[in-house]
Amino acid sequence: MKFAVIDLSSTGVSTVIAEGEKATGIFSSVYKDRTNIAVADYFDGRSISKRGIEKIIDALITARSTCKAMGVEECYCISTAGLRNIDNIAEVAERIRMRTGIVINYLDGPTEAYCDFVSNRKYAAYDKVILIDIGGGSVELCDLANDRKDEMICLDFGPIKLRNKYVTDIYPTEDQAKHIKKYVRKKSDESKLAGKSKFTTAVLVGTISTAIYAVYREYCEMEKLGTEFDYSKFKQFTKWLMNSSDRTRLIMKVAPEKIHVLPVATLVLKELLRRFKPDNVVVSDCGVKEGYMTLVATGEEKGVPINLDGGAPTAETVAQTVAPSKPKARAKSKKA
pLDDT digits (tens, 9 = 90+) for 281-309: 999 999 999 999 999 999 999 999 999 88
Residues 6+ apart with CB under 8 A from 87: 46, 47, 326
Whether residue 331 is contained in a domain is answered as no
Domain count of the chain? 2
Q: What is the pLDDT of residues 207-257, one digit of tens each?
A: 999 999 999 999 999 999 988 888 999 999 999 999 999 999 999 999 998
Model confidence at 328, pLDDT cuts 50, 70, 90, reads very low
In-domain check, residue 157 = yes
Shared domain for 14 and 153, answered yes or no, is: no
> Do 127 and 270 share a domain, yes or no?
yes
- Domain residue limits at 42: 2-109+287-319
92 in a structural domain:
yes
Whether 97 and 128 map to the same domain: the answer is no
Work out the percent of the chain whose per-residue pLDDT is above 90: 59
Residues 185 and 93 in one domain: no
Residues 136 and 178 in one domain: yes
> Taking residues 146-169, what's their average pLDDT?
90
Residue 330 has what pLDDT?
A: 39
Residue 333 lies inside a defined structural domain of this protein: no
Do 161 and 104 lie in one domain? The reply is: no
Q: pLDDT tens-digit profile of 86-141?
A: 777 788 888 888 888 899 998 888 899 999 999 999 998 898 999 999 988 889 99
Residues 168 and 271 in one domain: yes
Domain identity same for 261 and 199: yes
pLDDT of res. 331: 41
Is residue 336 in a domain? Answer: no
Looking at the fold, whether 229 and 96 belong to one and the same domain comes out as no
Sign of CA dihedral 292, 296, 299, 303: positive
Spatial separation of the C-alpha atoms in residues 107 and 287, rounded to whole Å: 13
The Cα–Cα gap between 236 and 243 comes to: 11
- Identify the CATH number of the domain in which residue 37 sits: 3.30.420.40
pLDDT higher than threshold 50 for residue 10: yes
Same domain, yes or no: 156 and 272: yes
Residue 100 resides in a domain: yes
Q: Is the residue at 146 inside a domain?
A: yes
Rounded distance between C-alpha atoms, residue 131 and residue 122, angstroms: 12
CATH code for the domain of 136: 3.30.420.150
Given the DSSP bridges, would you call strands 153-155 and 139-143 parallel, antiparallel or unpaired?
antiparallel
Same domain, 248 and 195: yes
Q: For the chain, give the secondary structure using H, E and C.
A: CEEEEEEEECCEEEEEEEEEECCCCEEEEEEEEEEECCHHHHECCCCECHHHHHHHHHHHHHHHHHHHHCCCCEEEEEECHHHHCCCCHHHHHHHHHHHHCCCEEECCHHHHHHHHHHHCHHHHHCCCEEEEEECCCCEEEEECCCCCHHHCEEECCCHHHHHHHHCCCCCCCHHHHHHHHHHHHHHHHHCCCCCCCCCCEEEEECHHHHHHHHHHHHHHHHCCCCCCCCHHHHHHHHHHHHHCCCHHHHHHHHCHHHCCCHHHHHHHHHHHHHHHCCCEEEECCCCHHHHHHHHHHCCCCCCCECCCCCCCCCHHHHHCCCCCCCCCCCCCCCCC
One domain for residues 212 and 294: no
